[in-house]
Chains A and B, each alone.
Chain A
Amino acid sequence: MLRMGPFLSPSGREDCGRSGAILDLRGYGTQLLDGAAMTLAVAAISLLFGGAIGLVGAGAKLSRWAWLRSLAGAYTTIIRGVPELLILLLLYFGGTVTLSRLAGRYVEVDGLSAGVFALSLVFGAYATEVFRGAILAVPRGQIEAARALGLRRLAIFRRVTLPQVWRIALPGLGNLWLVLLKDTSLVSVVGLEELMRKSAIAAGVTRAPFLFYGAAALLYLAFTLVSTAALHYAERRVGRGFRSA
C-alpha cells in the first residue's frame, strides 16, 4: 500500500479513528483516506510522466521533420478523440494479453501500472498542445536576440524559451491537473484501490452507498478546491512583473 503526504500522518490516522461518528464513517474512514492517498499518488505520478510526454510531444510538433510532426499529430488527435475509459481498458486488458503471451502463462497487469500509463498518455496528449502554444508564445525577438548573442539552439531553448514556458503554460496545465485528479476515479474500474474503489467496497458492505459516494465526492471536491486555490496563487506568483498575467 502506498502511503504519502500529510493526509496520512500517523497522528492524523489516530485522530480520525477517535473522533468517532463523523469522520469514522462506520469504521471505513481510514480506508477511504488510504484510498484518497492512492488517488493523489496516481495523479502525481501521472502528472510527472504526462508532463514529460507533453514536453517531448510539443518538441515533436514543432520539429523540422515532417514525419515527426505527423507522428505527434496522430498521437494527440487519437488520444483526444477517444474516451479515457476506453484507453484505460485497452491498456489493462491488452497489457494482460501481451504479458501473458510473452510469459507463456497468465499474467495480469496491475491496476496501478495500467492506470498510470493510461492517465499519463491522456495528460501528455493535452499537455503537448499546452506546451506547444506556450513555446510559440515566447516572443520571437528574444530568440533572435539570443541567436545574435551567439547562443546555440539547445542553449536558447534551455535558457530563454523553457524558463518562460512554465509561466505561460501554467493556467493550461492547471486545468489539466484538475481533469487528471477527477480522471483517476476511472482507474477504480480496473480494480485499483483508490478513493472510488474503497468507497464502492465500503458502500457494498455497509449498504450505505450514498454515504460513501458522498464522502468520496467531498474528498474529491476538497482536492480540486485546494488545487484551484494553489494554482491561483501560483499563477499570481509566476506572473508578478507581467501586467497581463
Chain B
Amino acid sequence: MLDYELMWASVPDLLRGLVLTLELVLASLALGMLLALPLAVLRNARHPLLWAPAFGYITFFRGTPLLVQIFLIYYGLGQFEWVKATPLWTVLRDASSCAVLAFSLNTAAYTAEILRGAIAAVPRGEIEAALALGMSRFLAFRLIGLPRAFRLALPAYGNEIILVIKSSSLASTITLLDITGTARTIVAQTFAPYEIFLVAGALYLALTFVTTRLIAAAEYWLTPERRAEAAAAPRAGVTPRLRPAGDPSA
C-alpha cells in the first residue's frame, strides 16, 4: 500500500514547487491580461489591417498545443544566431522567463477572445446613455464599457485562470521545478509514483478549489444587485412564506 511517511516527507519540497507554480501563474496572468486587452480591441476593429493580425495571433495560439509554443520559444529561438546577439537573449536563455513568456502569449489569445465577447455583450443602451451624457467614445468605453465587460467576462475568465494553473505544469518539461517538476524529480529518485503524484495532485486540487472560491467571491462582490438582495433577505431558515394578498392569517 501507500507509503505515508514518504508522502509526508515530500510535502516540504512540493510546497516549494507550489511557490514557483504560483509565481509562474500570477506573472503569466498579469502579462497575459496586459496583452489581451489591446488584442481584444484590435480584434473588434473594422479595418482589416487592424483585426487581421489580431485574428492571426489568436488563431495560432489557440490552434496549437502549448507544449509546442514553449518548445518553440525555449529551444527554437536559440537556433538563430542573431537572436543570441540581441540583449533579449539574457531573458530567452532562462527557462522560467521562457515559461512565463509562453504562458502569457498563450493565455492572452484565450483572454482576448473572452474579452471580445464580453465587450460585444455590453448592452448597447448603456454606451448610448454615456454618449448622450456628452462622454467621448473613449471615455464611455473606459468608464462604462470596459468595467461592464470585465464583470461579464469574469465567469469565463475564471475558467481560464484554472486552465492556466493546470497548464503551468508544462513548465516541468523545460527543467523547471514547479509542483509537477518537483514531483517528477522525487519520483525519479524514489520510484514511488503513486505516493508523490497523489500528493502533487492534491496540491493542484487545493489550488484550483481555492481559486474557484475566490472567483465566486469576486463575482458576488462585483454584482451589487445580488449583494443588496442578500442583505435585504432575512436569514435562511426564517424565510416567511409568501401569502396571497388579503390573507387574514398574515
Question: Which A residues fall within an 8 A CB radius of B?
Answer: 77-78, 81-87, 89-90, 93-94, 96-97, 182-186, 188-189, 196, 200, 203, 207-211, 213-214, 216-217, 220-221, 224-225
Contacts and interface: CB of A to CB of B under 8 A. Distances in A.
A188 B170 CA distance: 12
A200 B68 CA distance: 10
B65 A182 contact: yes
Interface in B174-227: 180, 183-184, 187, 191-194, 197-198, 200-201, 204-205, 208-209
A213 B193 contact: no
B208 A86 contact: no
A84 B166 contact: yes
Given A196-B65, A196-B67, A209-B71, A221 B60 contact: yes
A217 B69 contact: yes
Contact of B205 (A82, A185, A210, A220): A82
Given A186-B67, A217-B60, 8 more contacts: A89-B197, A186-B65, A196-B68, A209-B76, A210-B76, A213-B75, A217-B72, A221-B59
6 contacts: A86-B197, A89-B184, A94-B193, A182-B65, A185-B65, A210-B72
A186 B166 CA distance: 13
Contacts, number: 117
A78 B66 contact: no
B167 interface: yes
B123 to A, nearest CB: 21
A208 B72 CA distance: 11
A137 to B, nearest CB: 19
Nearest to A207: B79
A214 to B, nearest CB: 7
B208 A81 contact: yes
B169 interface: yes
Main secondary structure of the interface of B (DSSP, over half): helix
Given A83-B169, A211-B79, A214-B76, A183 B65 contact: yes
B80 interface: yes
B65 A213 contact: no
Contact of B68 (A82, A83, A185, A207): A185
Contacts of B59: 221, 225
A-B CB proximity, top 6 nearest = A93-B193, A210-B76, A83-B169, A185-B65, A182-B65, A90-B197
Interface in B55-84: 59-60, 62-69, 71-72, 75-80
B173 interface: yes
A213 B72 CA distance: 6
Contacts of A224: 62-64
B104 interface: no
Nearest to A90: B197
Given A83-B204, A86-B197, A89-B193, A216 B68 contact: yes
B28 interface: no
A30 to B, nearest CB: 20
Name the residue among B68, B180, B183, B184 with the largest chain A CB count within 10 angstroms: B68
B107 interface: no
Given A86-B197, A86-B200, A97 B79 contact: no
A85 B179 CA distance: 11
Given A81-B205, A86-B169, A209 B197 contact: no
A110 B108 CA distance: 35
B111 interface: no
Contacts of A186: 65, 67, 170
A78 B192 CA distance: 21
Given A84-B166, A85-B180, A210-B80, A90 B193 contact: yes
Nearest to A227: B63
Contact of B201 (A82, A183, A196): A82
A75 B187 CA distance: 24
A185 B184 CA distance: 18
B183 A86 contact: yes
Contacts of A85: 169-170, 172-173, 180
B64 A217 contact: yes
Contact of B64 (A81, A209, A211, A221): A221
Given A97-B191, A210-B76, A90 B68 contact: no
B202 to A, nearest CB: 9
A189 B63 CA distance: 20
A78 B67 contact: no
A47 to B, nearest CB: 16
A216 B201 CA distance: 30
